[in-house]
A and B are shown apart, each in its own frame.
Chain A
Amino acid sequence: MMSLDKYLPTWVKRIGLVSALLLFVAGIVFWGGFNWALEATNKESFCISCHEMEENVFKEYQNTVHYTNRTGVRATCPDCHVPKEWGPKMIRKIQASNEVLHKILGTIDTPEKFNAKRGQLAQNEWKRMKANDSQECRNCHRYDYMDYTEQGNRAARMHPQAFTEGKTCIDCHKGIAHQLPAIDQHIGKQNEGAVAISHGEKPAEPAEAADKK
């Protein structure tokens, strides 16, 4: 022990080697615990443990290709709604405390309340995906590796065209996993409060219009 003494920094000498080692272990335990909690709240089972999600968006998602498909590869809630990189993930997790607040307030605790808010909720998520260039889609679907010969005629025609125009996935693929809010499509009388859908031509406009209301 004596020979080690001269290699130890002063602060270790002050608190003692054992305490320093204990601090190190505590660090591992706390980081592990933090990471565990982060992962535990990043599971589909956690998301649908609240009935707001289970009764509304989860049911809709069960009819889509990201839930059930030929090969059984799935994209679960966090794959699309929580960024994978550490920084953006932390930011999103902190923003999610607002969702906890509204869970407690019961803002969307019935399907009727949820549907009344659907337009706003959808636009929040569209805005987020537009801002990060649909990063969560591109974690799996990469433009560069798309084989247009394997795509249907319509996809093979539209994809290169949209990429050239600098569009991102969410510009066209809205409502791919959940029901859309009421959208004005020029059919019959206009729906009260219907959202004008953008296909990437006028990205900021619909979000701004929603803010003004």
Chain B
Amino acid sequence: MRLITALALAASLLLGGVGGVGAQERVNEIGNVSIEGNSKVDMFRPEKDKESIPRNFQKQPPLIPHSVKGYNITQNFNKCMDCHSKERAEETGATKVAKSHYLDREDKKHSNISPRRYFCMQCHVPQFDAKPLVENTYKPAAKKGE
């Protein structure tokens, strides 16, 4: 019995040791940044309110040019629609929800927004002051007639 305990202890020490070595290795894919310690991600801050951001490519879902802190989308209430719905947009000066959002999957138009568009932030994302880890050389395809 004592032998089994000793063996188990030794095994767990060994395994723990291996795990420790693994964590100290540097992960080159994200630019020689150690993955130890506190993640820096939570130090990024939402960008301050600004005018709408130009699209990077055709049909890109427009980016959210303001902080969305505390803006919840729940079963009961969609905070985005409090300003961006067609009923509210004029008063709040927000961008109106696009017409495409009223189509169901059969392309049939409805008087209400399609439920499949409910989760705004699946496509429209807020911006943070995070700098790109690697240089981005993306160029959009030329627009029609260019």
Contacts and interface: CB of A to CB of B under 8 A. Distances in A.
A111 to B, nearest CB: 13
A190 B66 CA distance: 29
Given A152-B49, A158-B92, A186 B66 contact: no
Q: Is the interface of A mostly helix, strand, loop or mixed?
A: loop
A185 B70 CA distance: 19
Given A65-B70, A152-B67, A179-B76, A185 B81 contact: yes
Nearest to B69: A65
Given A152-B67, A154-B66, A182 B49 contact: no
Interface string A133-175: 0000000000000000000111001100000000000000001
Contacts of A189: 112, 115
Given A179-B74, A182-B76, A153 B50 contact: yes
A186 B113 contact: yes
Contacts of B70: 63-65
B114 interface: yes
Contact of A183 (B77, B86, B114, B118): B77
Nearest to A186: B112
B76 A187 contact: no
B95 to A, nearest CB: 12
A9 interface: no
B93 A157 contact: yes
Contacts of A64: 70
Contact of A187 (B48, B67, B91, B113): B113
Contact of B81 (A152, A182, A187): A187
B113 A188 contact: yes
A12 B76 CA distance: 66
Nearest to B88: A199
A153 B77 contact: no
Nearest to A190: B112
B127 interface: no
A186 B85 contact: yes
The listed residue with most A CB atoms (<10 A of its CB), out of B48, B74, B117, is: B74
Contacts of B117: 187
A191 B136 CA distance: 45
Nearest to B74: A179
A90 interface: no
Contacts of B86: 186
A182 B48 CA distance: 30
Given A65-B70, A152-B49, A153-B49, A186 B87 contact: yes
A181 B75 CA distance: 9
B100 interface: no
A91 interface: no
Contacts of A181: 76
Interface in B62-103: 66-67, 70, 72, 74-78, 81-82, 85-88, 91-93
11 contacts: A153-B50, A175-B77, A180-B74, A180-B77, A186-B86, A187-B78, A187-B81, A187-B117, A189-B112, A190-B112, A197-B82
